[in-house]
Amino acid sequence: MNWNKINLSIVYAIVLSVALFFLFGCKKAEKTPEQTPQQTEKPIEKIAENEEAQLIKTQVLDGKGIYEIGLEITKDGEIVKNKLIKNWTQIGLKVNAKGVQVSDITIDNIGHGDFTNQAGARLLKDNIIFTKSRINNTGYDGIGVQGKNCIISSSTLTNIATEGHTNGDGIMFMVGGTGSVYNTYVELKSFIKHCIKGSADGRATLYDAIGNTCIGGASGIIASQYSVIKGNKISNQQSNPETGVEGRGIVLVGFKGTCENNIMTNCPIGILVSNSPDLDVEKLRRENTFINCTIDIKVK
């Protein structure tokens, strides 16, 4: 018998057994820490991320009644969204930069008290877009526009000018301001001023007022000379017993623009026309609708 061959076979068998033992033993040891801890960590991370996103979705700026500006924007082209601005006595939002885009914000309880120049928002520079936002409960103006080519759209303004002061317009185009208002709801509490105010003397220009709802005030829409006033629903304007000024749905002074497909309801005067000798009044009557107005069209 060849003992050398037998001994060599035994050595090979021992070496192979030891190698297999270490190989499978290490793999089992490596699997153990990989299992349940990693499966439970991932859902925890996702929950934490969702909770954080929910918390930072809307930034709240609460002035608690102090006489300050809630938020002032000074950087051109900035995007402002997802904010709640409330309880400021002066101005909720002041945009003092060009090309700013404002959307999905709420401005609430602004400008109450014995002060002046208060507003829910002031748009002071050019090419500002204010859209898909809400302003509620202002003592004075809802929005004042002093920049050029500004657009207000798809927004809601309620309980505006609750103090009843003379400068409490819903949306006012101030001296030098130009722009348009689209698909916006304006409810004015004061019967002294106007829901949407342009100017016929060129100091401020309302380009388009299209698809809006205007409720209350002394006037629904004050047009500029070449305004497009189209598809608006205007109602419940009131006469001012102190000044004797009659409530008007739309005011056209020196008008050479377009005024059609508007509906005036419960207005002392549906449309007031002044200093517009070239305006076809009968066409104006045909192209607009008057419901329960004391006078449909009054020409001065």
Tens-digit pLDDT profile for residues 135-168: 999 988 999 999 999 999 999 999 998 886 566 8
Separation of alpha carbons 158 and 57, rounded Å: 24
In percent, how much of the chain has pLDDT > 70?
79
pLDDT at 18: 52
Overall average pLDDT of the 34-47 stretch: 32
Question: Dmax over Cα atoms in the chain, in whole Å?
Answer: 136
Give the pLDDT score at 115: 66
Token pair belonging to 272: 């007031």
* Eight-state DSSP code of residue 33: G
Structure-block tokens of residue 171: 């949306």
The backbone torsions φ and ψ at residue 59, rounded to the nearest 5 degrees and listed phi first, read: -90, 130
Per-residue confidence band for 44, with pLDDT thresholds at 50, 70 and 90: very low
Segment 261-272 mean pLDDT: 97
Residue 300 has pLDDT above 80, yes or no: yes
Task: Please give the average per-residue pLDDT across 61-75, as a whole number.
Answer: 91
As a whole number, mean pLDDT of residues 12-32 equals 50
Indicate if the pLDDT at residue 35 is higher than 60: no
Residue 94's DSSP bridge partners are 72, 122
- Calpha distance 291→214 (Å, rounded): 15
Confidence of residue 191 (pLDDT cuts 50, 70, 90): confident
Nearest to 155, CA basis, from 129, 179, 123, 178: 129
CA distance linking residue 133 with residue 180, whole number of Å:
16
Identify the pLDDT of residue 200: 81
Residue written as token pair 């153990």: 32
Q: Does pLDDT of 218 surpass 60?
A: yes
Determine the 3-state secondary structure of 186 from DSSP: strand
Burial class (CB in 10 A: 0-12, 13-18, 19+), 81: middle
pLDDT at 257: 96
| Sequence-distant (≥ 6) Cβ neighbours of residue 121 within 8 angstroms | 91, 92, 93, 94, 95, 102, 107, 130, 135, 142, 143, 144
Assign 286 to helix, strand or coil. Answer: helix
